Chain A
């Protein structure tokens, strides 16, 4: 574990006071450099390596997690800013023994090749579907004042544009999200 202060070059960098982060329902109290991104704290300090670092500048979406139910890029936010927030990473959604239904849909639909973007795709899709359910419009929503958003292919594509897949498994990612969303509707 890191010390309360971190020496870099000749500078003594003040660490944050002990901060409690709530990740996947569990509280972690630790001290870290205020410069630490949420992403780096997951991976380097909490052992939660499911969240992936792609570009580290908010362009690829591989680091997407849910904060208070909203999808965000964990590379572009400071961990110290998230005390008290409910954070969900891919580890909080499912595990190899018990896949989240959307993870299962990705497997069934072959929604990945290398898999590096997949945790971000899945967290993003979960947040995205909640946004649709809440009636939040997108760039391609024809009637911006519509109360209800229809989950069409173009809507999913537009809303998932913040998640890049370098293997270009897009058509199968779309299929997996649709399959999961349609199954959810039947269940209601």
Chain B
């Protein structure tokens, strides 16, 4: 690990001021950052510890939404009864990720900023455009079984690893951030993560020195929630494909649908196509198949990950059958 200086921020204002130094980075749970620092993929020269800032509260909002502080631990979010009852898709997604130990440490803000688990990104001997700009993408012609089929580019086919962010995408969450002048702004999650294009080293629209302070959730959409994750092991493994779903039906027709996919793209993949295909249609397997086709339209397989197109469709259809059928009976 490269050397760095360390300071513990006393408050948000001093945290963002400290982070304006060149080479500075925030650290909270550290479960991803320290791993990458050990490999010298991340090389901050100054660490600003924000883990003790009073930003861990989970609060009801006047509009019926919820505001989750950036320093809330993943466990605290998944255990909060308001999250479990009103935003079950979020609790389910958080619990599908990592291990108990990691969720106890990982923060809400850090989860959004975690970096890809592409093995070539981690292999410092291999070319990687995300890690070493312009060096090439080893995954394109390599073992790309875990890689993206949607939204990728010829510069990078890495996936975003977060389960939590997939649920936040389905819930239309907004990310609150402050900059070094203490000015606050809210970024819709759809605009937070960016596609790789020619600049895969740029992963979010968060500016240098900006600090996430909270994630806000609008009132939950009506209907039943589901998060289904398909992976190589039953637990403690990243998704090959995941589906976040919130769906409501009335008299057998779909009146509201939120669909987001994980494990298939460089960012949490909200599928407006699938939602449009479902809305107003009968909650039948035929309709679900059409929605799945829409969700995967334009998918680009890369060889080892060809199976992900069928897997994503089947996972979405199965989740729709299980969830919408239950909604009809409810």
A residues touching B (Cβ–Cβ < 8 Å)?
8, 11, 13-14, 16, 33-35, 37, 56-58, 61, 64, 70-73, 76-78, 80-81, 124, 127-128, 131, 134-139, 141, 144-145, 157-163
* 9-residue interface stretch from B18-26, B30-38, B55-63, B296-304: B30-38
CA A57 to CA B34, docked complex, whole Å? 8
* 9-residue interface stretch from B78-86, B195-203, B213-221, B271-279: B78-86
Given the interface pairs A8-B3, A81-B51, the reply to whether A161 lies near B235 with Cβ below 8 Å is yes
CA A167 to CA B3, docked complex, whole Å? 36
Can you list 13 pairs linking A and B with CB atoms under 8 Å apart? A34-B6, A72-B104, A76-B30, A76-B35, A76-B105, A77-B30, A77-B31, A81-B27, A81-B30, A127-B104, A138-B95, A144-B91, A161-B99
CB-nearest residue of chain B to A146: B84
- Residue numbers in B under 8 Å from A128 (CB-CB): 100
CA A11 to CA B51, docked complex, whole Å? 28
B residues touching A (Cβ–Cβ < 8 Å)?
1, 3-6, 8, 27, 29-31, 34-35, 38, 47, 49, 51, 75, 78-79, 81, 84-85, 88, 91-92, 95-96, 98-102, 104-105, 234-236
How far, in Å, is B117 (CB) from chain A's closest CB? Answer: 11
How far, in Å, is A125 (CB) from chain B's closest CB? Answer: 10
Is the beta-carbon distance between B34 and A124 smaller than 8 angstroms? Answer: no
- Residue numbers in A under 8 Å from B30 (CB-CB): 76-78, 81
- Residue numbers in B under 8 Å from A124 (CB-CB): 100-101
Is the beta-carbon distance between A131 and B92 smaller than 8 angstroms? Answer: no
Given the interface pairs A34-B6, A80-B6, A81-B51, the reply to whether A144 lies near B92 with Cβ below 8 Å is yes
The residue from B3, B34, B96 contacting A77, defined by CB atoms under 8 A apart: B34
The residue from A34, A58, A127, A159 contacting B35, defined by CB atoms under 8 A apart: A58
Given the interface pairs A77-B34, A81-B49, A145-B84, the reply to whether A137 lies near B79 with Cβ below 8 Å is yes
Is the beta-carbon distance between A145 and B88 smaller than 8 angstroms? Answer: yes
The residue from B38, B85, B95, B104 contacting A57, defined by CB atoms under 8 A apart: B38
The residue from B5, B85, B96, B101 contacting A34, defined by CB atoms under 8 A apart: B5
The residue from B1, B5, B47, B100 contacting A127, defined by CB atoms under 8 A apart: B100
How far, in Å, is B56 (CB) from chain A's closest CB? Answer: 13
CA A33 to CA B3, docked complex, whole Å? 9
CA A56 to CA B35, docked complex, whole Å? 8
Given the interface pairs A73-B31, A161-B235, the reply to whether A58 lies near B102 with Cβ below 8 Å is yes
Is the beta-carbon distance between B84 and A162 smaller than 8 angstroms? Answer: no
- Residue numbers in A under 8 Å from B236 (CB-CB): 161-162
10 additional A-B residue pairs with CB within 8 Å, beyond A76-B105, A162-B99? A16-B6, A34-B4, A77-B30, A78-B27, A80-B6, A124-B101, A127-B101, A138-B100, A144-B88, A159-B100
How far, in Å, is B173 (CB) from chain A's closest CB? Answer: 19
Is the beta-carbon distance between A35 and B105 smaller than 8 angstroms? Answer: no
- Residue numbers in A under 8 Å from B49 (CB-CB): 81
What 4 pairs across the A-B complex have the smallest Cβ distances? A162-B99, A161-B235, A34-B6, A161-B236
- Residue numbers in B under 8 Å from A8 (CB-CB): 3
How far, in Å, is A17 (CB) from chain B's closest CB? Answer: 10
The residue from B4, B78, B79, B104 contacting A35, defined by CB atoms under 8 A apart: B4
How far, in Å, is A34 (CB) from chain B's closest CB? Answer: 4
How far, in Å, is A126 (CB) from chain B's closest CB? Answer: 12
Is the beta-carbon distance between B85 and A145 smaller than 8 angstroms? Answer: yes
- Residue numbers in A under 8 Å from B92 (CB-CB): 139, 144
The residue from B5, B79, B235 contacting A158, defined by CB atoms under 8 A apart: B235
The residue from A35, A73, A135 contacting B102, defined by CB atoms under 8 A apart: A73
